[in-house]
């Protein structure tokens, strides 16, 4: 509307632009889709002991355990992982380095993968050609695996990151810790997870509180 009235003024159809004071509508930011914990368990349930199967499980465990972006995951080297101390050295956006804890399940998955694969080069996760795995290959692997285990929504790697952040916040209620965990520069980027946490609280309230629903 502002542009239209500006056009009318510029073409001498109107003397003044009466739409200059109009404010643009605020569009709600879409909440990220997340996976339930039982979905995570389905994704990491081993179906064989092949190198590729152990690699895929380790990839999913690390993304979920550390809340990594898939671009951060593919950049991991063997020396990025400290299995003794239980942490990962991550190169995030803007080449900013952070250290994030590595859970016991992820440590176990990486150990099994490394023992089976015998990886000796820099890259931690390799494709079937022995080269550093790419982002697209991980996206396709996770999507295919989700379909195979019966998950009804379209799953992509970032949903694992969202799930990790949401589950972490639900347990800790510490937004600053989640910000550091995800490597967010601004707390505003992390605050979206407070909305997800509130939605989960609302579900539990509706289900459990005796006065949640009005009697008819």
- Active centre residues (catalytic): 69, 93, 158, 161, 184, 193
Give the count of alpha carbons within 13 A of 4, CB side only.
3
Burial annotation 163-185 (CB, 10 A radius, 16+ → b, else e):
bbbbbbbeeeeeeeebbebbbbe
Of 68, 72, 44, 41, nearest in space to 58 by CA = 44
89 CB burial (10 A radius; 0-12, 13-18, 19+): middle
Concatenate the DSSP letters of all residues of 101-147 into one string.
Answer: E--HHHHHHHHHHHHHH---SSBSSB-TTSSBPPHHHHHHHHHHHHH
DSSP state of 214: -
Strand 97-101 vs strand 87-91: parallel, antiparallel, or unpaired? antiparallel
């Amino acid at each position: 509307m502002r542009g239209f009235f500006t056009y009318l003024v510029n073409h001498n159809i109107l003397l003044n632009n009466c739409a200059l004071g109009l404010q643009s509508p605020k569009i709600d930011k879409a909440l990220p889709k997340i996976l339930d914990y039982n979905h995570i368990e389905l994704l990491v349930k081993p179906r064989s002991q092949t190198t590729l199967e152990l690699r895929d499980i380790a990839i999913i465990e690390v993304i979920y355990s550390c809340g990594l972006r898939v671009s951060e995951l593919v950049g991991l080297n063997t020396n990025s992982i400290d299995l003794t101390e239980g942490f990962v050295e991550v190169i995030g956006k803007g080449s900013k380095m952070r250290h994030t804890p590595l859970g016991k399940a992820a440590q176990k998955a990486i150990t099994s993968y490394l023992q089976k694969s015998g990886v000796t080069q820099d890259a931690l996760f390799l494709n079937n050609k022995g080269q550093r795995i790419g982002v697209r290959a991980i996206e396709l692997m996770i999507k295919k695996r989700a379909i195979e285990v019966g998950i009804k929504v379209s799953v992509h790697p970032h949903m694992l990151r969202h799930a990790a952040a949401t589950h972490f916040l639900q347990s800790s209620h510490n937004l600053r810790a989640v910000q550091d965990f995800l490597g967010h520069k601004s707390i505003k980027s992390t605050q979206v997870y407070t909305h997800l946490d509130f939605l989960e609280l609302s579900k539990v309230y509706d289900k459990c509180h005796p006065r949640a629903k009005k009697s008819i």
